[in-house]
């Protein structure tokens, strides 16, 4: 196992990404501690591993709690991120809370001499100026989510220079899979098809993007922890395929065995192509996505069938 004797703190560990990552970390032999306030994360996401982890219910904006949670760990994976920001909130307390929390996490990493794996997003790029989008693409976010993620990257880079912070930045492409708390496009399409409702696509269906199955994301995080050459690096993490919304809708219909029509709704923007280049991660981290979009959607469909009330919780 690749993480024997490693002690890892996962902020936001009860959320969609965090709960999957914790399972992977445990499978690799790590000791896992979770810090989560349970605003969007769910304790039930951790039901299968509760006896194997240490769970701390607190806010990352509380400096004392973060310092205590990080004591004795050698790696911190920072995932905590409020759902309100993903929903484009510009409320001051939301934004100041997440940035204050990041500074607390950085201080804790420095105090414990721990590696900080900062989970950023391809939202830092904004609209594509060329494709595929690599790590040298201009950083011009168009959503508050991307702007805050980019601010976090800048904090990490600055503290690496000024204070010796050891950090890895992962810019992840849209992630989907079981326990996806936010109803992302793959989840929305699957739920519509499973009810034989129209699958609604914004624009003409030509918008395309790279999707990442959650297990591949977890593997990328593990690789960033075990490859010494990752420290100080910035890496795109995405699946192998860039699929259009029309292709995604048709694939979902096939997987769900649905007769749903595909309805195209008016949208001011069509034709965006968020094709993410992960060659740097493949070369330096050894990252290789294991799930094609059809495989990931099939696993997610099966999970939705087994958990029909998840989104009513």
Token output for 192: 């519509």
Contact between residue 162 and residue 225 where contact means Cβ atoms under 8 Å apart: no
Confidence (pTM)? 0.96
Q: Are residues 194 and 267 in the same domain?
A: yes
**Tens-digit pLDDT profile for residues 46-72:** 999 999 999 999 999 999 999 999 999
Alpha-carbon distance 304 to 232, whole Å? 38
Contact between residue 248 and residue 185 where contact means Cβ atoms under 8 Å apart: yes
Helix (H) or strand (E) holding 77: strand 75-78
**Tens-digit pLDDT profile for residues 113-160:** 999 999 999 999 999 999 999 999 999 999 899 999 999 999 999 999
Would you say residue 206 lies in a domain?
A: yes
Q: Are residues 190 and 51 in the same domain?
A: no
Q: Are residues 197 and 294 in the same domain?
A: yes
Would you say residue 126 lies in a domain?
A: yes
Please, how many CA atoms are within 13 Å of residue 73, restricted to the half-sphere of its CB? 30
Q: Are residues 128 and 183 in the same domain?
A: no
Q: Are residues 262 and 166 in the same domain?
A: no
Q: Are residues 49 and 96 in the same domain?
A: yes
Q: Are residues 145 and 263 in the same domain?
A: no
In whole angstroms, what separates CA 108 from the centre of its chain? 22
Would you say residue 1 lies in a domain?
A: no
SS3 251: helix
Domain that holds residue 297: 177-210+241-277+288-312
Would you say residue 59 lies in a domain?
A: yes
């Amino acid at each position: 196992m690749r993480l024997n004797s490693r002690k890892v703190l996962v902020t936001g560990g009860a959320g969609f990404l965090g709960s999957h990552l914790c399972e992977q970390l445990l499978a690799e032999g790590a000791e896992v501690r979770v810090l989560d306030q349970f605003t969007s994360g769910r304790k039930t996401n951790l039901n299968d591993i509760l006896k194997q982890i240490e769970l701390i219910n607190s806010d990352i904006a509380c400096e004392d709690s973060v310092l205590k949670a990080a004591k004795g760990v050698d790696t911190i994976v920072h995932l905590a991120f409020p759902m309100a920001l993903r929903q484009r909130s510009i409320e001051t307390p939301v934004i100041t809370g997440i940035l204050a929390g990041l500074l607390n996490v950085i201080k804790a990493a420095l105090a414990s001499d721990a590696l900080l794996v900062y989970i950023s997003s391809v939202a830092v790029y904004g609209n594509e100026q060329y494709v595929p989008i690599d790590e040298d693409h201009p950083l011009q976010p168009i959503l508050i989510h991307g702007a805050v993620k980019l601010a976090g990257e800048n904090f990490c880079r600055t503290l690496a220079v000024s204070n010796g912070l050891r950090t890895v930045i992962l810019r992840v492409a849209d992630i989907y899979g079981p326990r996806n708390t936010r109803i992302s496009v793959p989840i929305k399409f699957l739920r519509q098809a499973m009810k034989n409702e129209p699958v609604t696509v914004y624009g003409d269906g030509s918008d395309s993007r790279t999707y990442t199955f959650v297990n591949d994301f977890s593997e990328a995080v593990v690789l960033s922890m075990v490859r010494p050459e990752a420290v100080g690096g910035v890496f795109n993490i995405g699946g192998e395929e860039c699929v259009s919304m029309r292709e995604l809708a048709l694939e979902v219909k096939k997987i769900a065995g649905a007769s749903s029509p595909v309805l195209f709704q008016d949208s001011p923007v069509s034709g965006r192509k968020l094709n993410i280049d992960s060659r740097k991660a493949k070369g330096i981290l050894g990252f290789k996505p294991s799930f094609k979009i059809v495989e990931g959607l099939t696993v997610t469909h099966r999970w939705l069938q087994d958990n029909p009330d998840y989104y009513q919780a």
